[in-house]
Amino acid sequence: MQKKLDQFKRMIMEVTDLGHAEAVLGWDQQVYMPRGGGEDRGDILETIASLAHQKFTCKEMGELLAELKPYAQTLDADSDDACLIQRVAHRYDKETRVPTEWVVDFTRVTTLAQMAWEEARAKSDFAIFQPHLEKVVDLRRAYASFFQPYDHVYDPLLDGFEPGLKTAEVQQIFDALRPQQVALLKEIAAKPEIDDAFMHVPYDEQGQWDFGVEVITRFGYDWNRGRQDKSVHPFTTSFGINDVRITTRFDPSRAASALFSTMHEAGHAMYEQGFSASLRRLPLADGASMAVHESQSRMWENLVGRSKAFWKFFYPRLVQKFPQQLKGVSLEQYYRGINKVEPSLIRVEADEATYNLHIMLRLELEIGLMDGSVRVADLPGLWNKKMQEYLGVTPPNDRLGVLQDVHWSGGMIGYFPTYALGNLVSAQLWEKIMENIPDLEDQISRGKFDDLLAWLRTHIHRHGAKYEPQQLIKKVTGTGIRPDPYMRYLRAKYAEIYNL
Amino acid sequence: MQKKLDQFKRMIMEVTDLGHAEAVLGWDQQVYMPRGGGEDRGDILETIASLAHQKFTCKEMGELLAELKPYAQTLDADSDDACLIQRVAHRYDKETRVPTEWVVDFTRVTTLAQMAWEEARAKSDFAIFQPHLEKVVDLRRAYASFFQPYDHVYDPLLDGFEPGLKTAEVQQIFDALRPQQVALLKEIAAKPEIDDAFMHVPYDEQGQWDFGVEVITRFGYDWNRGRQDKSVHPFTTSFGINDVRITTRFDPSRAASALFSTMHEAGHAMYEQGFSASLRRLPLADGASMAVHESQSRMWENLVGRSKAFWKFFYPRLVQKFPQQLKGVSLEQYYRGINKVEPSLIRVEADEATYNLHIMLRLELEIGLMDGSVRVADLPGLWNKKMQEYLGVTPPNDRLGVLQDVHWSGGMIGYFPTYALGNLVSAQLWEKIMENIPDLEDQISRGKFDDLLAWLRTHIHRHGAKYEPQQLIKKVTGTGIRPDPYMRYLRAKYAEIYNL
């Protein structure tokens, strides 16, 4: 059996290597590739992806898994080998249920859909995107059918991003959260608006870059095993546990944008730098789920990076870098400025108090598309109606409304809820962390983050994708994902900022 | 047959894609990879290389080639398809003659040999490297034996870099060249030394970078299909004909080093950017040989970049960038400075008049190692003796002598002669170019390079690797590689500079 396990690992490692090659090719594509290189790059990526798929779904892999699955039952359930076999078997089952023709169709349809979406968004004309999105939805419904029987047609999609989590669980969480978030927002809206004019003056790029680097270096981002570059959309990518890179972007008139994005991506990256070395070259060297991944980025960006303790330490340093821009702005004013709540049209610009509402709206529409209760043609109207209902604003056009996100054009239905769940998990972990490190706030106000990072390494990072997300979160906090810690966090924070 | 040809091309394109993926991974490794990423990167590269080898040498490829080879005979010999089948069949024959065990041994031995060479060079202690080099030589002799019968044991090695060229031909060329180069050098040595002190003061990096970019942009390097980065050793790499990148390095006290290196690499890169679009994703989108490749880089670096016409145009621009460094230095003085002849110990720093002598010495030693007339243990002594004989200098230690080059540690025996052949080819092409574009010198002195680049595109670049190098050169110049144009070029140039 050891020989079979070794052979299985060798095959899985080759698939992992190909995935890492794809990641390098994709990173370069977004960061340094000259414009002319696109067509060749597409060919290379297609060849590698197809080889990886062939290798992963080959007959030998199926036979090895059939023999290894019963063997895994005899192992310690927490052992790397048991988790590896189980996670690979789950993915193998998923990938082999999907016919090759569907994959080919899906690739073709989403390639065209993305081009149509770009045009539609530029022209703010949903009609251009509509027929493509209809095909995407049809394909995604067909995809779900490969996994029948299911409790909910949305379950197989959600499973692609949150292994094991059910639609009913997400709905229950969101149903509890929604009224509380809406109520909080109403209370805040009744209060005087915060002045954050100092955020909207030019901050030079090098100063932003240097400050961001100083912050994440103190966080514990390991530059010996990573680097930062610029790209149009910030992202984190990894080519192995010892090469985890981030990107950022600069908007001269929105200085906070690059800084918080750098902290966010460093949060993702420190997660991946923290996987146990024993998981190297295995698919277990991955985040437990998108929500758990997002919990790490959100924690460093928001619970740490937008806290008063953090700025007690860093604000004097920021003022030193930008004395003109911050002249006469007190720490208190700065803190309130970066935490200003303002219902807005665009998800990626939303503050902590409104962000989840953007997500709930999307989840409801996605579920409607999947269960047939919502037609693609009705999306723009429904979108605007829900925006008014949840956030009190109505998009003046579809570019600022239903066309703002790239996800649907790429067929990524099921992804959105993980953003909000990530927020919830971050606060849930944070309560546990505060129990375990009572003086953390004081540490942060002295620029010390090693205890926090060590806690995350021990309880979250090193496990990688060994456990399903709900299982991991329960292991650490005693329950599955729940909304109350996040609401407590928001309430406490904004009560102070807005004198609620 | 068309169906078989299509299938053959599909397979070859996948192999090409994998090669391009390796190139991207290698570029990143040398340019941006953080230190910690080395081990993972090694795994990824090994997996991709092994998949590419499997794909290329698989049974189906052999069967297709067996059917396609007779078919190729029925095609126009100049057609892409005929050339493709012939070149792939040649490579397939080579790769399948070599047993897998040899490849495994070779990889292991050269990996260790490279580490040993690094240590030996650092300590200037040949004894550390000697046992490893002995194994490399044994393996290379075994390699040659797979290609018996051959005219010369060195032929199979040379063929890896100069397809079709024979050792006897190279020896004949070098035998004609050597006495003329040695005689020229003696004449120059009798003349007063040129003062190039202005070359050895600090030049700031950004100014060097900007000037290099201005020069190669005027040459015609296409930035839409390439980019330049920094690396420890400058190189050119390509990920397809529309993404051909170069790197450069800076030495603050040797300003010429970066500039000429940038022109050199741009010469390589413009060759690859000039392959016919019909060769995309095929192994024909490659240089005809290392010598032909080197002829392009040397032409732009030396025949263009070290010419008086070139500096008539660019020197005033250089002075504008570096007014302090070049204060009081006339165009004539500058021109003489960058063309100063000075027998030196290190090949990569050698001038045009001495460079080939470094190569001849290496070729003689390599042939001796392969035919058994030279023992590895005798290399340091022989090296120093020949250095004195050809160049009139004796290395004070092995670091500056036999240990200076990386090639042997990597098993690259057969590579060196292509550097010198590249010089010869550059001059041979140049005579033809001057016939076809009589006012080229005048064009160059006005900063115009389009006629030159267009000529190279038409006669050399677009063909890629369709023809064997000797065949291509004969097609263009009427004969195979010959030494007299290079000697005429050197004689004329140095007669003027040194008043010979």
CB contact under 8 Å between B243 and A37, yes or no, is yes
β-partners of residue A237 are A245
Nearest to B37 among A40, A48, A243 (CB): A243
How far A272 CA sits from the closest chain B CA (Å)?
A: 13
pLDDT tens per residue, range B419-476 = 999 999 999 999 999 999 999 999 999 999 999 999 999 999 999 999 999 999 999 9
Residues of chain B neighbouring A222 (CB-CB closer than 8 A): 36
User: pLDDT confidence of B255, banded at 50, 70, 90?
Assistant: confident
How far A36 CA sits from the closest chain B CA (Å)?
A: 5
Residues of chain A neighbouring B34 (CB-CB closer than 8 A): 223-227, 242-243, 245
Residue with tokens 């010469």: B267
CA angle at B274 for the pair B271 and B277, rounded to the nearest 5° = 140
Q: Give me the pLDDT at residue B274, please.
A: 98
B243 in contact with chain A, both atoms CB, cutoff 8 A: yes
Please name the residues between 180 and 239 in chain A that touch chain B, using a CB distance below 8 Å. 222-227, 229, 239
A21 in contact with chain B, both atoms CB, cutoff 8 A: yes
User: pLDDT confidence of A255, banded at 50, 70, 90?
Assistant: confident
CB contact under 8 Å between A47 and B223, yes or no, is no
B26 in contact with chain A, both atoms CB, cutoff 8 A: no
Residues of chain A neighbouring B35 (CB-CB closer than 8 A): 224
CA distance A14 to A29: 22
User: Does the reported pTM lie above 0.90?
Assistant: yes
Q: Give me the pLDDT at residue B116, please.
A: 94
A53 in contact with chain B, both atoms CB, cutoff 8 A: no
Nearest to B36 among A25, A39, A224 (CB): A224
Average pLDDT of B390-415?
96
B33 in contact with chain A, both atoms CB, cutoff 8 A: yes
Q: Is the pLDDT of residue A205 over 80?
A: yes
Q: Give me the pLDDT at residue B366, please.
A: 98
Residues of chain B neighbouring A270 (CB-CB closer than 8 A): none
CB contact under 8 Å between B44 and A21, yes or no, is yes
A35 in contact with chain B, both atoms CB, cutoff 8 A: yes
Q: Is the pLDDT of residue B12 over 80?
A: yes
CB contact under 8 Å between A225 and B37, yes or no, is yes
Please count the other Cβ atoms lying within 10 Å of the Cβ belonging to residue A273.
23
Q: Give me the pLDDT at residue B286, please.
A: 97
Residues of chain A neighbouring B11 (CB-CB closer than 8 A): none
What DSSP element (H or E) covers B244?
A: strand B244-248
Could you confirm whether A265 is annotated as catalytic?
Answer: yes
Percent of chain A with pLDDT over 90: 95
The amino acid sitting at B360 is: M
Nearest to A37 among B25, B48, B239 (CB): B239
Residue with tokens 């980065």: B229
CB contact under 8 Å between A18 and B222, yes or no, is no
Residues of chain B neighbouring A25 (CB-CB closer than 8 A): 21, 24
Percent of chain B with pLDDT over 70: 100
CB contact under 8 Å between A40 and B242, yes or no, is yes
pLDDT tens per residue, range A285-318 = 999 999 999 999 999 999 999 999 999 999 999 9
Nearest to A43 among B27, B39, B281 (CB): B281
pLDDT tens per residue, range B159-204 = 999 999 999 999 999 999 999 999 999 999 999 999 999 999 999 9
pLDDT tens per residue, range A401-446 = 999 999 999 999 999 999 999 999 999 999 999 999 999 999 999 9
Q: Is the pLDDT of residue B373 over 80?
A: yes
Average pLDDT of A100-104?
89
The amino acid sitting at A240 is: G
Question: A113 is written with which tokens?
Answer: 């859909």
Residues of chain A neighbouring B39 (CB-CB closer than 8 A): 240, 242
CB contact under 8 Å between A242 and B40, yes or no, is yes
Average pLDDT of B414-418?
97
Q: Is the pLDDT of residue B7 over 80?
A: yes
Nearest to B36 among A18, A37, A243 (CB): A243
Residues of chain B neighbouring A227 (CB-CB closer than 8 A): 32, 34
Nearest CA in chain B to A23: B25
Q: Give me the pLDDT at residue A474, please.
A: 98
pLDDT tens per residue, range A44-74 = 999 999 999 999 999 999 999 999 999 999 9
Strand pairing class (B236-238; A236-238): unpaired
β-partners of residue B318 are none
Question: B425 is written with which tokens?
Answer: 């080819």
pLDDT tens per residue, range B112-162 = 999 999 999 999 999 999 999 999 999 999 999 999 999 999 999 999 999
Question: B68 is written with which tokens?
Answer: 């396609």
User: pLDDT confidence of A354, banded at 50, 70, 90?
Assistant: very high
Give, as one character, the DSSP assignment of residue B289: -
CB contact under 8 Å between B20 and A37, yes or no, is no
Query: Best interface-test mutation with B: which of A12, A221, A227, A239 has the largest number of B CBs within 10 A?
Result: A239
Q: Give me the pLDDT at residue B427, please.
A: 98
* Averaged pLDDT of chain A: 96
Nearest to B34 among A28, A32, A224 (CB): A224
CB contact under 8 Å between B44 and A24, yes or no, is yes
User: Could you tell me which of A18, A339, A363 has the C-alpha nearest to residue A169?
Assistant: A363
How far A45 CA sits from the closest chain B CA (Å)?
A: 8
CA distance B354 to B9: 45
User: What secondary structure does DSSP assign to B248-261, as a single string?
Assistant: E---TT-HHHHHHH
A241 in contact with chain B, both atoms CB, cutoff 8 A: yes
User: What secondary structure does DSSP assign to B92-120, as a single string?
Assistant: HHHHHHS-HHHHHHHHHHHHHHHHHHHHH
B242 in contact with chain A, both atoms CB, cutoff 8 A: yes
Q: Are A134 and A376 in contact (CB under 8 A)?
A: yes
Q: Give me the pLDDT at residue B251, please.
A: 84
Q: Give me the pLDDT at residue A254, please.
A: 80
Task: Give CA separation, B453 vs A267, B29, B271, B288, in Å.
Answer: 49, 31, 9, 17
ipTM for the assembly: 0.92
Where exactly are the structural domains of chain A? 2-151, 152-500
Q: Give me the pLDDT at residue B146, please.
A: 97
Average pLDDT of B61-66?
98
Domain A152-500 has CATH 1.10.1370.30: yes
Residues of chain A neighbouring B229 (CB-CB closer than 8 A): 32
Residues of chain A neighbouring B51 (CB-CB closer than 8 A): 14, 51
Q: Give me the pLDDT at residue A111, please.
A: 87
Q: Is the pLDDT of residue B253 over 80?
A: no
Q: Angle formed by the axes of helices B484-498 and B167-189, to 10°?
A: 10
Average pLDDT of B240-245?
97
Sign of the CA dihedral running B385, B389, B390, B395: positive
Q: HSE, CB side, 13 Å, CA atoms: give it for residue B78.
A: 5
Please count the other Cβ atoms lying within 10 Å of the Cβ belonging to residue A456.
23
A23 in contact with chain B, both atoms CB, cutoff 8 A: no
Q: Give me the pLDDT at residue A237, please.
A: 97
Beta carbon pairs, A and B, within 8 Å? 126
Give φ, ψ of A392 to 5 degrees. Answer: 75, 15
Q: Which residues of B are catalytic?
A: 265
pLDDT tens per residue, range B467-487 = 999 999 999 999 999 999 999
User: pLDDT confidence of B289, banded at 50, 70, 90?
Assistant: very high
Q: Give me the pLDDT at residue B256, please.
A: 80
Nearest to A240 among B32, B40, B225 (CB): B40
CB contact under 8 Å between B34 and A241, yes or no, is no
How far B276 CA sits from the closest chain A CA (Å)?
A: 14
CB contact under 8 Å between A21 and B222, yes or no, is no
